[in-house]
Every structure is written in structure tokens, then in C-alpha cells.
Amino acid sequence: MSSPGEIHPRITGWGKSLPSKVLTNFDLESMLDTTDEWIRTRTGIKERRIAGEGETTASLAARASLEAMKVAGLNAEELDLILLATSTGDALIPAGSASLQKALGAKRAGACDVNAACCGFMYGLSIAYQFVSAGTFKNVLVVGSEIYSRILDWKDRSTCVLFGDGAGAIIVQGSNKPLLKPYFVLGTEGEHAGLINAPNSANPAVKSSASPYLTMDGPKIFKLAVTWMVKSTEKAIEGAGLKNEQISLFIPHQANIRIIESAMNTLKMPKERIFINVDKYGNTASASIPIALCEAIEENRVKPGEYIALTAFGAGISWASAVIQWDPKI
């Protein structure tokens, strides 16, 4: 039961931004010892977007944010907090969120970055929900924005075929209108942190690293991803007081079709209730879930009153799942 005056946070705005350049599997055939069939059968990816000259993590984030603000009917001066989830920031200092705040003209908003790799948006979303629920802030912008193409070895087919660039943004606001209390599950298994690495050129300890690019242990990541996506999703659904069959749409992190299918089969989630767009964009890391959510809304896959499950897995090793009730009107 809701208490009088209780604040119920909800997503009221959404937007995405994708670079115009498309890199297909056939394009990669001319660059690598690979084929379209090899990539598709192992990953489900057909193409991905690549940031062009002049595009930055912050500029992609700004375009997605402006869309989300327009949907929510907010102007920049009304934003209280900006959370930019990214693991490919434009600089170590300042935080990309500061550049985003400037681009939006949101002078009164606090701003910070959230780095939990592919789980960054989910961590940011959980923070936004807590602040709005507590009444600390009214209008919070959460953005996932990544340009992985600039930290990839384009001669390494085990990594470069997997990732793409893009951004997705949402607005979280509160209302007295009753809504299911969202349930978040966040976790980290630091002993496996070395399974996915990207260099930090400012750290003398890694300047002489064997690889200046992102590296990962694919087979081990696959097993851990399936395990924790399943466990965290089950815990989130149970924590929300629901059952699997009550989830209308499941939006998983779009990393690899085999990971998604394996996790969904274990959860016994029917295909028609799973949203997939990995074929078009590849793994856009923290931007993956907000981009997918935007497209699900555009395709009328999400309706008011329905329950949605979101789950992600990434470097750290980190995982994050949530169950929310969809109702964008406050």
C-alpha cells in the first residue's frame, strides 16, 4: 500500500543517439580474417554504428538527452542531477558529465560520471530512482554513452566485431500516483575483474601493457554473464513480488545473442517477450539498455501498467538487474 505523500519514481522521457556511419560484417570481411556468417552465427550481430570525426561521448550523450528532455517536457534549467554512465569518457578529467551539462545548458544541475562498464546505465538508473524516491531531486537525467570503436584493436576479430558506438538517455521523475516499487539488484565479483581490460594511459603501471586496446576472455565472460544475468533477474523479479509470467517485456544487455538466448532459456522467458536489437548495433556497453528501451517504446512493445525487467553484465565483473512498472505519465 502507498503511504500518503509517498513519491513514486518513473521514467518520463527517453531518447537515443546513434552515429550515422554503419559498419557491416561485410565491411569487416575486407579488414579481418572473418566472414559475415562467422560473426552472425557466434554473436547475432550484422552491423554496428561507428562514431565519426568530431563526435564524442559527450556529444552523443547530449543528442540523446535533448530527445529525452523533449519527451518529458523539461528544459535544461529544470534538471537537478545529471548522471553520465560511460567507460569510454572523452578524458579522465574533467568528467564527461561536466561537458554534457555545459552542452545542455543545465547550469543548476549537479553532474557526475558512473563507470560500471556495461552495467553503468543500470547503476545510474538505481541512483536516480533512490534520489527521486527520497524527494532529494525532482528531475534526474541518466545517460549511457559510449565510443568503444576508439579503444578497439581493429585487427583482433575476437573483440572488434562485437562493439558499436551510441547513446541512450532517460528522465526519472516522481509522482504521487501509485506504482510498483522498483526493485534493483546490483553486484560485483572483483576477483574476476581482469577478464575484461582497457588501458589507462595515465597509469604508469599499465603504460607498457602488452595491448593498448580492450582485451577480454570471451569463454569465461560468457559463462559468468549467463550465470549472473539469470541470478540477478530472478532476484529482482522475486524482490518486486512478481513471477516470471508477469513480466511483459525483458530488455537484456545487448552483448551477444548466444548470451541472451542462454539466459532467457534458463529463465524460461518466451522469445516474444524479449527485446533484441544486437543485430543492428552490436554491444554499445552502457548505452545498450537505454537504446533498446527507446526502440521498444517506438515499436509499441511497452504499455502503461506493464512490468519490465532489465538486466546487464559487464567488466568488473559487475551485474545489475531491475524490475519496474511502466507508466510515463506523472
Catalytic entry in 8, 25, 115, 118: 118
Catalytic entry in 25, 119, 283, 294: 283
Determine whether 119 is an active site residue: no
| Distance from C-alpha of 16 to C-alpha of 70, rounded to nearest angstrom | 12
Determine whether 8 is an active site residue: no
> Pick from 309, 306, 297, 307: which is nearest to 250 by CA?
309
Angle of helix 36-43 versus helix 257-267 axis, rounded to 10: 30
| Distance from C-alpha of 210 to C-alpha of 151, rounded to nearest angstrom | 14
Determine whether 118 is an active site residue: yes
The residues that bridge with 251 in the sheet, in sequence order, are: 310
Catalytic entry in 8, 253, 277, 294: 253
Length of the chain: 330
> Pick from 56, 65, 67, 70: which is nearest to 19 by CA?
56
The residues that bridge with 113 in the sheet, in sequence order, are: 84
300: exposed, middle or buried (Cβ count in 10 Å: 0-12, 13-18, 19+):
exposed
DSSP structure string for 267-292: HT--GGGB---HHHH-B-GGGHHHHH
- Positions annotated as catalytic residues are 118, 253, 283
